[in-house]
Amino acid sequence: MDEFSFIDSIKQDVYYQPSVLKGIGDDAAVFRANNQDIITAVDTMVEGVHFSRETMDPLHVGYRALAVNISDLAAMGAVPAFFMVSIVIPDDWSAAEIDEVYSGMKQLAKEYRMDLIGGDTVSGKELVVSVTVFGLVPPDKSRYRSSAQPGDVLFVTGTLGDAQAGLEYLLGKHHFYDEAAAYFIGRHRQPNPRVSFALQLQALERVALNDVSDGIASEANEIAAASHVDLHIIYEDLPKVEYLGKLEKETCKPWVLSGGEDFELLGSVPEKDWAAVQQAAEASATRVTKIGWVLETNDTEPFVYLYEENKKSLLMKSGYTHLRQDR
């Protein structure tokens, strides 16, 4: 059973509590308390699976564990507020190293004025850092991946493939020179959640948002499926930092499409609101790029199409592309 069918199997069809606005199925859950919408999400990092001591210092482990959760809040359009940390500590992590993990979280928490309000500390065989975050949003202003509609402009913040490039460098699989190496390492270890950009969009009526945690191919397919629309993306328009643009395409393309962990925001808005998105980007000093458009789907299962050198192919969740002449 893969992760997606597993999630389907545990997902409730009906919720007991009428205050649940969004359960399983987006970047975070949403419930309402007296006209205040509360966003919550949990993300877990396991040593040897999501990070290794080879590629991250303890400080980065903490920073990143909180950052990926804040990114989920950004993708819901929420203001970060609180977090809780459940940590499994193995014998081979010293008290000083665990302190560093918390320092990494506190560094980022301070930036967002987030409070550590609870948690649990237990022992085990491998380090597991599980962070629960809470954010606040005005009523009905949560941003869902199911909100895309035909005619929308598709956009993405920042640049893609950077975190993967950083990881490849740290694993010794690819070499970059000093300046580029430092840039990519930073993007892998200390991603920058797009909170202020998402908040700048709050005045807009309808915005679909997803954060790029598993690669844009995966996130685009999630929006297509949740909104029941087709997405059309132009490969040449996907934003790449100059260091990446210089690489051979066969090296760079998989990183851009499915490298993941860039924690940028992929979204869509009605075409009339595209100018407002550009203003929001400017106001929050965030790069934003129009990368395609949203159309009606003719299929039961919607698709994401990728245009590249004027050839049209299907972009699968995995980042794999294949030509479909008939579409």
Residues that bind a copy of itself (CB under 8 A): 1, 3, 6-7, 9-12, 15-17, 19-20, 22-24, 28-29, 31, 33-36, 38, 40-46, 48-50, 81-82, 84-86, 88, 95, 98-99, 102, 113-126, 128, 130, 132, 134, 136
Q: 57 and 127 in contact (C-beta within 8 Å)?
A: no
Which residues, 6 or more positions from 29, have their beta carbon under 8 angstroms from its beta carbon? 20, 22, 23, 39, 40, 41
Given a contact cutoff of 8 angstroms between Cβ atoms, the answer to whether 189 and 182 are in contact is no
Name all contacts of 273-278 with Cβ < 8 Å and 24+ positions apart: 273/153, 273/204, 273/205, 273/207, 274/153, 274/155, 276/201, 276/203, 276/204, 277/153, 277/155, 277/201, 277/204
Nearest to 28 by CA among 78, 65, 62: 78
With respect to a copy of itself, which residue has the nearer C-beta, 34 or 325? 34
> 304-308 and 230-234: which strand pairing?
parallel
* Sheet of 36-46, strands arranged across: 20-22, 29-33, 36-46, 128-137, 79-89, 115-123
d(CA 65, CA 5): 25
Min dist. Cβ of residue 52 to a copy of itself (A)? 13
H-type helices in 190-215, by residue range? 195-200
Q: Which is nearer to a copy of itself, 123 or 300 (CB)?
A: 123
Locate 63 and state its tokens.
């920073």
Q: State the minimum distance, in angstroms, from the CB of residue 222 to a copy of itself.
A: 15
**Minimum Å distance from CB 98 to a copy of itself?**
8
CA torsion sign for 160, 161, 165, 167 is positive
Smallest gap from residue 47 Cβ to a copy of itself (A): 8
Q: Identify which of residues 126 and 205 has a Cβ nearer to a copy of itself in the complex.
A: 126
Q: Which is nearer to a copy of itself, 31 or 274 (CB)?
A: 31
- Nearest distance, CB of residue 249 and a copy of itself, angstroms: 32
Tell me the closest approach of the beta carbon of residue 285 to a copy of itself, in angstroms.
23
Nearest to a copy of itself of 16, 177 (CB atom): 16
HSE value, Cβ hemisphere, 13 Å, CA-based, for 174:
20
Q: Which is nearer to a copy of itself, 34 or 298 (CB)?
A: 34
Q: Of 79, 139, 70, 73, whose CA–CA distance to 105 is shortest?
A: 70
Q: Which residues are annotated as a binding site?
A: 27, 43, 50, 72, 102, 119-120, 145, 211, 213-214, 261, 320
Nearer to a copy of itself, 12 or 298 (CB): 12
Among residues 123 and 298, whose Cβ is nearest to a copy of itself? 123
Could you tell me the smallest distance in angstroms from the CB atom of residue 97 to a copy of itself? 12
Phi, psi of 271 (to 5 degrees): -55, -35
**Nearest distance from C-beta of residue 45 to a copy of itself, angstroms:** 8
257 Rama class: left (phi>0) / alpha (psi -120 to 50) / beta: alpha
